[in-house]
């Protein structure tokens, strides 16, 4: 697939630069032809993760949402590239069959992959990528904008357990712009923001002062910076690149007010689920998927519905950010 890039028809310095990087990638790193085409033509591309698909939502809703989110990105003028590992191939841009495979962790063994797990990829291996792993792969493919729901963070009790998501260190070392609805309150939000600061991540709330907290537009905590338009986001990505900071950017897009799921109901579900994690002795990478599923059961599906709405909104915003960024690149 990668040979396409030796094509002499590539003119833009941007795509030439990316082409040079591609020639060093291994044969199991597959960039879908439609993504290759978009890169070649300097069209905006928006990356999507697959852990949300394999371990973040139940089947078949997960698959429907994956298709829908890709469609929203297209409708808003960008090309969607969902990232995941199928049969040992790292894919940037998944076809229908691959999306379907990754949506069925009940049928296939699908490992949730972060940075530490990527070197295990081999024939026969399927894996979903977390925010951290998706960022690494997006960067290798020369892409910049990545949309998700919520990122991982500092878990409650981290001072004892040391459970801090590798998403935070990755954001400190990989220059990708991650668009999310903030940090879910299954996590310790103030500590997560502190860790992001320590790691040198540029954190912006979009069009408001406070950082959003996923189900709710307002975490009550002021973000370091505010971005007010797609152009401002694009300029941040661009300046970050020019200064070769090599660190990530996190844009917290608040859930639209009328969809916001505030208050006691969600918080008591989260508290109950957190208690169960402790009682059942759930550890490591199992914690986040457990919490997501349990909160959904306890809110009788309401948290999942809200989750879907906000991913839709993030997809739209991510496409707008990517469009502005690619405009600046031209």
Q: How many CB atoms lie within 10 A of CB 194?
A: 13
Instruction: Rank residues 56 and 93 by Cβ distance to ligand PSU and give the closer one.
Output: 56
Q: Report phi then psi at 26, rounded to 5.
A: -75, 165
Q: Enumerate residues 6+ apart whose C-beta is below 8 A from 301.
A: none
Which range touches Mn ion (CB under 5 A), out of 125-133, 160-168, 243-251, 305-313?
160-168
* Contact assessment for residue 307 and residue 246, using Cβ atoms and an 8 Å cutoff: no
Binding-site size for Mn ion (CB under 5 A) equals 1
Instruction: Rank residues 52 and 304 by Cβ distance to ligand PSU and give the closer one.
Output: 52
Beta strands in the chain (DSSP E): 29-31, 45-48, 79-86, 89-92, 110-113, 126-129, 145-147, 177-180, 202-206, 225-227, 249-252
Give CA 163 to chain center in angstroms.
19
- Taking CB atoms, the residue at the shortest distance from Mn ion is 163
Choosing among ligand PSU, Mn ion, none, which partner's interface includes residue 212 (Cβ < 5 to 8 Å by kind)?
A: none
Instruction: Rank residues 192 and 306 by Cβ distance to Mn ion and give the closer one.
Output: 192
Shortest gap between Cβ of 35 and Mn ion (angstroms)? Answer: 30
Q: Enumerate residues 6+ apart whose C-beta is below 8 A from 319.
A: 44, 46, 72, 73, 75, 76, 77, 78
Choosing among Mn ion, ligand PSU, none, which partner's interface includes residue 254 (Cβ < 5 to 8 Å by kind)?
A: none
Shortest gap between Cβ of 288 and Mn ion (angstroms)? Answer: 7
Instruction: Rank residues 177 and 234 by Cβ distance to ligand PSU and give the closer one.
Output: 177
* Contact assessment for residue 168 and residue 152, using Cβ atoms and an 8 Å cutoff: yes
- Torsion sign, CA atoms 241, 119, 203, 306: positive
Instruction: Rank residues 257 and 283 by Cβ distance to ligand PSU and give the closer one.
Output: 283
Choosing among Mn ion, ligand PSU, none, which partner's interface includes residue 218 (Cβ < 5 to 8 Å by kind)?
A: none
| Residues in the chain, total | 330
* 242 in active site: no
Q: Binding to Mn ion by residue 188, rule CB under 5 A?
A: no
Shortest gap between Cβ of 174 and Mn ion (angstroms)? Answer: 18
How far is the C-alpha of 293 from the C-alpha of 222, rounded, in Å? 29
The one catalytic residue in 30, 49, 139, 170 is 49
User: Which chain residues interact with ligand PSU by CB under 6 A?
Assistant: 49, 51-52, 56, 114, 130-131, 149-152, 165-167, 184, 285, 288, 292
The one catalytic residue in 112, 184, 316, 323 is 184
How far is the C-alpha of 248 from the C-alpha of 237, rounded, in Å? 9
Shortest gap between Cβ of 27 and ligand PSU (angstroms)? Answer: 26
Which range touches Mn ion (CB under 5 A), out of 31-39, 50-58, 142-150, 162-170?
162-170
Choosing among ligand PSU, Mn ion, none, which partner's interface includes residue 130 (Cβ < 5 to 8 Å by kind)?
A: ligand PSU
Shortest gap between Cβ of 201 and ligand PSU (angstroms)? Answer: 14
* Contact assessment for residue 135 and residue 153, using Cβ atoms and an 8 Å cutoff: no
* 49 in active site: yes
- Pick from 117, 163, 170, 188: which binds Mn ion (CB under 5 A)? 163
Q: How many CB atoms lie within 10 A of CB 230?
A: 19
How far is the C-alpha of 4 from the C-alpha of 330, rounded, in Å? 21
Shortest gap between Cβ of 245 and Mn ion (angstroms)? Answer: 26
Instruction: Rank residues 49 and 163 by Cβ distance to Mn ion and give the closer one.
Output: 163
The site for Mn ion (CB under 5 A) is made up of 163
Active-site annotation, residues: 49, 184
């Amino acid at each position: 697939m990668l040979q396409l890039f030796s094509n002499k028809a590539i003119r833009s310095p941007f795509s030439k630069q990316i082409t040079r990087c591609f020639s060093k990638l291994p044969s199991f790193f597959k960039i879908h032809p439609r993504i290759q085409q978009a890169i070649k033509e300097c069209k905006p591309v928006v990356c999507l993760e697959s852990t949300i698909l394999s371990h973040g939502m139940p089947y078949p809703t997960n698959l429907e949402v994956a298709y829908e989110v890709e469609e929203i990105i297209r409708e808003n003028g960008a090309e969607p590239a969902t990232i995941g590992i199928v049969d040992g191939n790292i894919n940037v841009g998944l076809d229908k069959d691959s999306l379907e495979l990754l949506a069925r962790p009940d049928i296939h063994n699908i490992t949730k992959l972060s940075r530490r797990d990527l070197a295990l990829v081999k024939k026969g291996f399927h894996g979903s990528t977390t925010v951290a792993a998706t960022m690494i792969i997006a960067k290798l493919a020369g892409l910049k904008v990545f949309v998700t729901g919520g990122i991982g963070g500092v878990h409650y009790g981290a001072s004892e357990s040391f459970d801090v998501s590798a998403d935070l260190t990755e954001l400190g070392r990989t220059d990708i712009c991650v668009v999310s609805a903030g940090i879910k309150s299954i996590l310790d939000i103030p500590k997560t923001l502190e860790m992001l600061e320590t790691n040198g991540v540029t954190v912006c709330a979009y069009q408001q002062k406070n950082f959003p907290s996923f189900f709710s537009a307002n975490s009550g905590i002021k973000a370091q910076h505010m971005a007010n338009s797609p152009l401002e986001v694009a300029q941040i990505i661009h300046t970050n690149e020019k200064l070769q900071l090599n660190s990530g950017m996190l844009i917290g897009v608040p859930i639209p007010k009328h969809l916001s799921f505030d208050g006691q109901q969600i918080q008591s579900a989260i508290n109950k689920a957190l208690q169960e994690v402790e009682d059942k002795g759930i550890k490591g990478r199992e914690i986040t998927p457990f919490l997501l599923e349990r909160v959904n059961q306890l809110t009788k599906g309401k948290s999942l519905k809200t989750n879907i709405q906000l991913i839709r909104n993030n997809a739209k915003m991510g496409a707008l950010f990517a469009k502005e960024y690619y405009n600046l690149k031209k």
